[in-house]
Amino acid sequence: MTMQQHRRMDVLFRLALVSVLALGAARVTLDNLRKNLGETRSHKYTIQVPIEVSEEEAIEDGCNVFEGKWVRDNASYPLYREDSCPFLVKQTTCLKNGRPDSFYQNWRWRPHACNLPRFDGLKLIEILRDKRLMFVGDSVQRGMFESMVCLVQYALPNDVKRSLQRIPPRKIFKVEEFNASIEYYWAPFIIESISDHATNHTVLKRLVKLDSVAKHSKEWEGADILIFASYVWWMYKPTINATFGSLDNIQEYNVTTAYRLALETWANWIDSSINPRTQKIFFVTMSPTHLWSWEWKPGTDGNCFNETHPIEGSYWGTGSNLDIMGIVEDVLGRLKVKVNVLNITQLSEFRKDGHTSVYGERKGKLLTKEQRADPKNFADCIHWCLPGVPDTWNEILYALLLQDYRAG
Ligand SMILES: *[C@@H]1O[C@H](CO)[C@@H](O)[C@H](O)[C@H]1NC(C)=O
Ligand SMILES: *[C@@H]1O[C@H](CO)[C@@H](O)[C@H](O)[C@H]1NC(C)=O
Ligand SMILES: *[C@@H]1O[C@H](CO)[C@@H](O)[C@H](O)[C@H]1NC(C)=O
Ligand SMILES: *[C@@H]1O[C@H](CO)[C@@H](O)[C@H](O)[C@H]1NC(C)=O
Ligand SMILES: *[C@@H]1O[C@H](CO)[C@@H](O)[C@H](O)[C@H]1NC(C)=O
Ligand SMILES: *[C@@H]1O[C@H](CO)[C@@H](O)[C@H](O)[C@H]1NC(C)=O
Ligand SMILES: *[C@@H]1O[C@H](CO)[C@@H](O)[C@H](O)[C@H]1NC(C)=O
């Protein structure tokens, strides 16, 4: 890659981030409307789901579920239908927003050394009986949360009551009969920052408090399963304004330095507050972006727009920073509490076709016809369509939870 391309990538990365990492107030009304969905039923229903993990469902010893390939599967995928999930926000409903192809929904991730168990939403909700599962992170992580909600709600019998509540910066999906909840908590840097308001935030103005996590962590304390992710908000520039210690002393930090300090702050909380016998922690590695088509198709000058098929053969985009990946590995490796890594980066790298592209929104509004006609400036190659790639992240999470459940 030439120096010029490097510089250009940096600028484009910034533009892309500014345009898509902004939430609109429009969403609030929608969610409040949805909140009451399903709350009119009072019929009591009790399902005892037999949880039996057959041999096919077990992950074979030594199988790295993150190494594999995408295979076409029109019969079993998607795992739910876009229009069957009332809990999806506009940002992810690509077909409804006008995407002409739906191939991106028909891919199954097949690890080289084993098969993933088929996702069974009833088994998952049984595993979550009397529990809280919480996703923590930015809007990409919110996509993983929504995917999980859709996967589960698709499996529930019609008369099982479900609800989605919005208590910013949280979203809470509840299945009362199981006393189970699947939650989302907005914290784009995991640690505290001035971007922690659920809607009033912008990547243009970032200030992170590298040594502070208490405001957030007190909300995480009671959760049984916590799934963390944080990446793209850090990457807007090579440096970031931050404090460490005194709030009056704001300094520009190299992002890699800042990321390490932030993750260590989080890690200290994990080691001092998590009970590994009753709580499980996961960390999701960076979700890749597909902002520059010359990376997979040399000589072209586009982005993820118009892409309909996964990349074949080996591929790792420059947007997925290896220094950051190394820091994650290092910090997690030194924890006393075991944190499971959901290393979804490589498998998602192949999916240049899975992004919302021009069939999503910007600042809380769907793109206009004119904006859609200008994919160079308006395609979102960071977020994912649903059903889609985040479903696979959840299938893997499910497989690991099932494995643990079976082990007792
Ligand atoms: C899946 O469907 C697509 C489009 O209908 C078709 O082109 C493809 O051959 C099918 N693949 C398989 C494996 O059936
Ligand atoms: C419901 O689940 C919560 C955890 O989310 C737990 O604290 C509570 O005891 C459960 N209630 C019952 C009646 O089991
Ligand atoms: C948004 O947050 C900024 C500070 O981060 C504040 O100055 C501004 O008043 C807030 N705007 C609204 C509409 O709440
Ligand atoms: C840090 O803050 C100062 C003052 O607001 C600003 O001029 C500078 O651009 C910021 N640096 C970064 C990396 O955002
Ligand atoms: C930031 O730190 C990384 C890793 O230590 C180094 O490679 C990079 O050159 C640094 N960047 C700046 C702008 O200092
Ligand atoms: C996108 O694909 C369509 C149909 O294949 C083609 O007509 C159009 O030129 C493509 N647009 C871009 C920007 O590549
Ligand atoms: C995730 O997998 C990649 C290979 O795909 C590897 O290079 C990286 O170290 C792994 N990250 C972690 C945190 O384990």
Tens-digit pLDDT profile for residues 24-83:
333 433 343 333 343 434 344 566 666 666 777 778 888 999 999 999 999 999 999 999
Instruction: Please tell me the distance from the alpha carbon of residue 378 to that of residue 369, in angstroms, as a whole number.
Output: 11
From 28, 196, 197, 206, the mutation candidate for ligand 3 (largest count of ligand atoms within 8 A of CB) is 197
Kindly identify the ligand whose nearest atom is closest to the C-alpha of 256: 5
Per-residue confidence (pLDDT) for residue 48, from 0 to 100:
63
Q: Of the listed 120, 138, 139, 195, which one is catalytic?
A: 139
Name, in order, each residue with C-beta under 8 angstroms of 109's C-beta and a sequence gap of 6 or more: 68, 69, 70, 116, 347, 392, 395, 396
Instruction: Please tell me the distance from the alpha carbon of residue 287 to that of residue 187, in angstroms, as a whole number.
Output: 16
User: What is the DSSP code string of 207-241?
Assistant: -EETT--HHHHHHHTT-SEEEE---GGGGGSSEEE
The helix (H) or strand (E) run that includes residue 135 is: strand 132-137
Structure tokens at 181: 């909840």
Residue located nearest, by CA, to atom 3 of ligand 6:
306
Cα-only R_g, the chain: 20
DSSP conformational letter for 45: -
| Closest alpha carbon to 332 in 395, 381, 247, 274 | 274
- Report the DSSP beta bridge partners of residue 195: none
CA of 254 to the centre of ligand 3 (A): 26
Residue 104, φ and ψ in degrees, nearest 5: -60, -15
- Report the DSSP beta bridge partners of residue 288: none
DSSP conformational letter for 110: E
- Report the DSSP beta bridge partners of residue 366: 361
**Could you tell me if 150 and 100 are in contact, meaning their C-beta atoms sit under 8 angstroms apart?**
no
DSSP conformational letter for 181: E
Pocket of ligand 5 (CB under 6 A): 238, 254, 256, 323
Q: Is the CB of residue 252 below 6 angstroms from any atom belonging to ligand 4? A: yes
Instruction: Please tell me the distance from the alpha carbon of residue 186 to that of residue 197, in angstroms, as a whole number.
Output: 8
Q: Is the CB of residue 372 below 6 angstroms from any atom belonging to ligand 6? A: no
Residue 87, φ and ψ in degrees, nearest 5: -95, 0
From 69, 70, 71, 72, the mutation candidate for ligand 1 (largest count of ligand atoms within 8 A of CB) is 72
Q: Quote the mean pLDDT of the chain.
A: 89
Task: Determine the residue type at 68.
Answer: G
Task: Determine the residue type at 247.
Answer: L
Dihedral sign for Cα 138, 136, 270, 325, please: negative
Q: Percentage of the chain surpassing pLDDT 70?
A: 87
Pocket of ligand 1 (CB under 6 A): 72, 74
User: Is the pLDDT assigned to residue 276 strictly greater than 90?
Assistant: yes
Counting from 1 in the atom list of ligand 3, the atom nearest the Cα of 205 is: 5
- Average of per-residue pLDDT across 98-102: 97
| Closest alpha carbon to 94 in 138, 143, 22 | 143
Least confidently predicted of 6-10, 41-45, 156-160, 364-368: 41-45
- Average of per-residue pLDDT across 15-26: 55
User: Is the pLDDT assigned to residue 2 strictly greater than 50?
Assistant: yes
Question: Which residue do the tokens 């985040």 mark?
Answer: 390
